[in-house]
């Protein structure tokens, strides 16, 4: 086995190590975003968040991650442009992994929730511009991604504002919030399970040969949602509160109900995140293996299961070892969260992912979740937001693309000097 390892080209070994490094950085930053609202609201402990994210992030990455890697691998630069100098593509992809992973860890240390997709795209743009030329970059695609700085938080923030306003009007502001929760709770359960199922089923399980079109996914998600709503109705009907208990106790019971719903939506977001953002780690790795192997440049590279495994494992390790800083920012520093507010934010993020995927709108999971938290905060008034924290997050979003590009240029020349003839 050791002899076989020695036969593997050095760029492949370095690429596998950097893919794990990048996945670790994704877990430290992006996964913390998805779990931050659940931890901040008290619906999950940090240990519970790591467990939930570990299962659903790894499941999303391993079961559904392969079909999105070509977007990262070929969406910004055309590998065919490197036909005469394939080594430059290898150096560039290694540089992209090193640059994006480094920026993500720096941002995580500062507690900034930034986009891993924007980090890797900025890195690919950087090496493409210096390795081939400015014309090699698909600037239209880059412009679409930059536009998502506005579209992602705007869509999710608006939905979160509306969802929490509905919860407050239909449950929290009522004379008997528990009775109202019994009445409207099943509808919320339906929406949660419908969204979770749709995120999972609509082109979400290609790797296990379950690839439903939109109509099939909608029918299946609706059926599952109805079953979930009926079960939820039975469970909520059994909730009994002594009449002697005060109103504050009633609110705590209601928040416990929304805590369960929030964890369910967090699972949907975690699965969707794992299936999409694992591409940021293994997309460049697939390009390295394709270029140093026998496949023709420009063809679709096969994503080996072990690559998806590296991505999933790294994501879980990143959250477990270094994710607490970003979780604290998203869950506690932007605005005060309760389970009902966290549920509104998570559900809005999941719905935004479904809507954007269907309409082909490029979005950032990070920007989506942060925008949803902002929307929940605005539902309580501008004073409920810590504008200094919001401002620092906005700055970190703007500098992510250029920082990733500059770091990539440095690492590009480093690997070119290390591995070049």
Domain boundaries defined on the chain: 2-419
* Cα distances (Å, whole numbers) of residue 352 to 65, 268, 328, 338, 365: 19, 12, 23, 21, 9
Q: Measured between alpha carbons, how far apart are the two ends of the chain, in Å?
A: 28
Residues 6+ apart with CB under 8 A from 374: 153, 157, 160, 334, 335, 385, 390
Whole-model pTM: value is 0.84
pLDDT in tens, the chain (421 residues): 434 444 667 888 898 999 999 999 988 898 777 788 888 888 888 888 888 888 888 777 777 665 544 544 456 777 677 777 788 888 988 999 999 999 999 999 888 999 888 888 889 889 888 888 887 787 877 777 777 778 889 999 999 999 999 999 999 888 888 888 888 888 988 988 888 787 777 655 555 566 677 788 889 889 999 998 898 888 777 766 666 566 666 678 888 888 888 888 888 778 777 776 777 788 788 778 777 654 444 455 556 778 878 888 888 888 888 888 888 888 889 998 988 999 999 889 888 877 776 666 667 788 888 999 999 999 888 888 999 999 999 999 989 989 999 999 999 999 988 887 6
Q: Which residue in 375, 352, 370, 390 sits closest to 276, CA to CA? A: 352
Structural element, H or E, at residue 89: helix 86-110
């Amino acid at each position: 086995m050791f002899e076989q390892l020695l036969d593997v080209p050095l760029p492949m070994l370095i690429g596998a190590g950097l893919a794990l490094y990048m996945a670790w950085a994704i877990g430290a930053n992006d996964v913390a975003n998805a779990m931050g609202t659940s931890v901040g609201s008290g619906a999950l402990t940090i240990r519970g968040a790591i467990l939930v994210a570990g299962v659903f992030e790894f499941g999303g990455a391993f079961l559904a991650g392969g079909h999105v890697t070509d977007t990262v691998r070929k969406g910004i630069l055309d590998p065919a442009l490197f036909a005469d100098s394939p080594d430059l593509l290898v150096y560039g992809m290694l540089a992209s992994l090193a640059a994006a992973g480094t920026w993500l860890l720096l941002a995580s240390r500062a507690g900034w929730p930034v986009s891993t997709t924007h980090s890797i795209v900025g890195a690919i743009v950087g090496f493409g511009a210096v390795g081939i030329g400015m014309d090699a970059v698909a600037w239209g695609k880059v412009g679409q991604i930059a536009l998502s700085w506005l579209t992602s938080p705007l869509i999710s923030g608006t939905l979160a504002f509306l969802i929490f306003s509905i919860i407050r009007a239909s449950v929290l502001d009522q004379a008997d919030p528990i009775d109202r929760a019994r009445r409207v709770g099943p509808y919320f359960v339906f929406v949660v399970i419908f969204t979770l199922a749709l995120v999972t089923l609509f082109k979400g399980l290609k790797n296990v040969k379950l690839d439903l079109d939109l109509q099939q996914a909608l029918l299946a998600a609706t059926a599952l949602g109805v079953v979930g709503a009926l079960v939820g109705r039975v469970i909520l009907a059994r909730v009994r509160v002594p009449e002697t208990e005060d109103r504050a106790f009633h609110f705590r019971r209601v928040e416990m109900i929304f805590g369960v719903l929030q964890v369910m939506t967090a699972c949907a977001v975690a699965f969707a995140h794992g299936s999409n953002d694992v591409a940021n780690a293994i997309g460049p790795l697939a390009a390295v293996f394709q270029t140093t192997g026998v496949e023709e440049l420009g063809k679709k590279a096969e994503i080996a299961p072990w690559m998806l495994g590296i991505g999933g494992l790294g994501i879980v390790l990143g959250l477990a070892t270094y994710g607490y800083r970003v979780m604290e920012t998203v869950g506690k520093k932007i605005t005060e969260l309760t389970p009902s507010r966290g549920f509104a934010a998570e559900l809005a993020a999941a719905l935004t992912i479904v809507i954007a995927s269907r309409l082909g709108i490029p979005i950032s999971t990070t920007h989506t979740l942060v925008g949803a938290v902002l929307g929940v905060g605005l539902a309580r008034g501008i004073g409920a937001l810590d504008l200094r924290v919001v401002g620092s997050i906005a700055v970190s979003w703007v500098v992510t693309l250029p920082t990733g590009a500059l770091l990539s240029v440095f690492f590009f020349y480093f690997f070119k000097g290390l591995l070049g003839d």
